[in-house]
Homo-oligomer: A and B are copies of this chain.
Amino acid sequence: MSLKYAVLAALLEGEASGYELSKVFDVSFANFWASTPQQLYRELERLTRDGLVEARVVRQERRPDKRMFTLTAAGREDLRGFAAAPPRRPTTVRDELLIKIQAMDDADPGATCALVEERMAWARGKLARYARVRERLLDGRPEERYLREADRIGPYLTLMAGIAFEEENLRWCERVLAVLRQRVPQG
């Protein structure tokens, strides 16, 4: 249902191809609306059919043709309504690692440590990518000035949510490792 609005919101940043959107949904949007390229292509098809986005084919010299999508007035209006309405469904999270932690007392502590360390490496990678997106948004301005003056601050605020989330994630991992090491000093 809301993948629709996630795509429309992504197109607020300007025209994009399905492929480009799939990159966006792999980095910044991944924090709050996970989806695969296949899902995006299907959704773009539907949105085009419903007149909320418009497609134009761009022929390229040394690459396959691509379709570039733009928000229509109807799409923008629909999104505006969505943005002001209360959420229909509660936030859902699906994190396999936490299931493994929930069940860890029955498993090998060494393996659990390794999983947590993997998660930390992953979180650090995400933070590095977010830092680059942040630099690009701020474009040299101090944050305070950006937040006062920029046309659009929504993307910055969601990015901040992602950064805060991953930093918290890292702190939690650190804590889990400390506890594990104290309980199994030989591990």
Contact = CB atoms under 8 A, between A and B. Distances in A.
Interface of A: 2, 5-6, 8-10, 12, 29-34, 76, 79-80, 82-108, 111-112, 115, 118, 147-148, 151-155, 157-158, 160-161, 164-165, 168, 171-172, 175-176, 179, 182-183
A76 B106 CA distance: 8
28 contacts: A2-B94, A2-B96, A9-B102, A12-B105, A32-B93, A34-B93, A82-B100, A82-B103, A83-B99, A83-B106, A83-B112, A84-B100, A87-B96, A87-B97, A87-B115, A91-B97, A92-B93, A101-B157, A102-B154, A102-B158, A103-B154, A147-B179, A147-B182, A147-B183, A148-B183, A153-B179, A153-B183, A165-B168
Contact of A153 (B105, B160, B164): B105
A106 B79 contact: yes
A13 B86 CA distance: 36
A100 to B, nearest CB: 5
Nearest to A5: B99
